[in-house]
Amino acid sequence: MKLLALLVLSLWSNIAQATPPGQFTFLGVNQCAPFEGVLFDPPATANLLADFQYAKTSCDAAIQFELSKQKAEYDLQIKNLNIRNDSLETEYRLTIESLNRENDALSEALRKQSKKNPVLWIAVGVAGGIAMTYAAHEVFSE
């Protein structure tokens, strides 16, 4: 609605500026006019010219007010979006740091649980190999 009012005021201002103000002349008593038209006395002519200037000035002021109000609203929206963006970036960074710490803690816990005893693993491997070889020999030798 505000945009429509601004558009109408803008168009009206452009129409007022595009229309020539017309001609007027000062005539004495019983003098002929140099063109066809309506004769205004000096106060009426002054009123017409003043009304035109007042309408133009008030229209320009209304347009400037609406534009500055709209600019302030958009600036506020941009500021709010920037704040939201900053908070989301901070939340993302904190989440990543938390997940990294959790990953490190779980890796450390797993490392502590798995006991590395290479002698035991070699002995189990050799014993398993001998048992499998003997079992295969018994099965296939018949």
> Over the stretch 116-141, which tens digit does the pLDDT of each residue have?
777 888 898 999 999 999 998 888 88
What pTM does this model have? 0.46
Taking 50 as the pLDDT cut, the residues of the chain under it are none
Residue pair 6/12 in contact by the 8 Å Cβ criterion: no
Which CA distances in Å does 69 have to 19, 61, 75? 30, 12, 10
